[in-house]
Amino acid sequence: MEESYQKLLRNNKQWAASKQKEDADYFKKLSQGQSPEYLWIGCSDSRVPANEVTLTQPGEIFVHRNIANVVIQTDMNLMSVLYFAVEILQVKHIIVCGHYECGGVTAAIQHKDMGIVTNWLRSIKEIYEHHKQELDAIESIEKKERRLVELHTIEQAKNLGKTRTVQRAWKKRPLFIHSWVFDCCTGIMTELDNKVTCIDDVEPIFRYEIE
Ligand code: CO
């Protein structure tokens, strides 16, 4: 088998050995279960690994990633992850992490047919349409894309507030939804000014009567 593939398994042995060396009980503790405080919803992009960019360890972040960190209510995968994280693991924070240079957002701004990915990214076009005036006024395509990444990330955090899972949790306890954007050019994360912390932050039409 080719070297670039074999390398991964070799690296894993090294990693396991070094963890064990740091703390003899490391894997014993890890095997006892997880109680992460955070749910991360990020892009599948290989340049934005949740644990690495936040200096966190296995067990600390529950992770869902998809192309362009899209939150769609008919996505059974994401909705199950959300339910499990909020109801069972009782996470305190949900972080929607977008990133500049996002290929998904770039594709959404263009007109190429990319098969099923075109379907997946369509809601980003709708965000563009919604903010057309602001985005059309930005001449630089790079700046336009960066702004769309921000607007899209904010919208996905809002989408979480529109779910029954989140609204049910708010009835019982605090749950904070954050919008972050990672810059691959600097490694720096920016916290966007978008508060989704209680039912008052959700448009009234999306509020449910929850027992
Ligand atoms: Co991306």
pLDDT in tens, 121-148: 999 999 999 999 999 999 999 999 999 9
Q: Give the model's pLDDT for residue 2.
A: 86
Ligand 1: distance of its center to the CA of 101 in Å? 7
pLDDT over 90 (residue 26): yes
Q: Give the model's pLDDT for residue 172.
A: 97
Give the active site residue among 47, 122, 130, 164.
47
pLDDT over 80 (residue 160): yes
Which of the four pLDDT bands, split at 50, 70 and 90, describes residue 202?
A: very high
Q: Catalytic annotation on 184?
A: no
Q: Give the model's pLDDT for residue 165.
A: 98
Domain boundary assignment for the chain? 1-32, 34-206
Average confidence score pLDDT of the chain: 97
String of DSSP letters for the chain: --HHHHHHHHHHHHHHHHHHHH-TTHHHHHTT----SEEEEEE--TT--HHHHHT--TTSEEEEEETT----TT-HHHHHHHHIIIIIS--SEEEEEEETT-HHHHHHHS----THHHHHTHHHHHHHHHTHHHHHT---HHHHHHHHHHHHHHHHHHHHHTSHHHHHHHHHS--EEEEEEE-TTT--EEE-S--B-SGGGS-GGG-----
pLDDT over 90 (residue 40): yes
Q: Give the model's pLDDT for residue 204.
A: 97
Q: Catalytic annotation on 99?
A: yes
Give the active site residue among 64, 99, 146, 178.
99
Strand-pair category, 61-66 with 93-99:
unpaired
Q: Give the model's pLDDT for residue 195.
A: 86
Ligand 1: distance of its center to the CA of 153 in Å? 11
Q: Give the model's pLDDT for residue 71.
A: 98
pLDDT tens-digit readout, 63-121: 999 999 999 999 999 999 999 999 999 999 999 999 999 999 999 999 999 999 999 99
Ligand 1: distance of its center to the CA of 112 in Å? 17
pLDDT over 80 (residue 1): no
Q: Whole-model pTM? A: 0.96
pLDDT over 90 (residue 211): no
Q: Catalytic annotation on 130?
A: no
Ligand 1: distance of its center to the CA of 98 in Å? 7
pLDDT over 80 (residue 166): yes
Give the active site residue among 10, 23, 25, 43.
43
Ligand 1: distance of its center to the CA of 182 in Å? 10
Ligand 1: distance of its center to the CA of 165 in Å? 25
**Domain at 34-206: CATH architecture:** 3-Layer(aba) Sandwich (3.40)
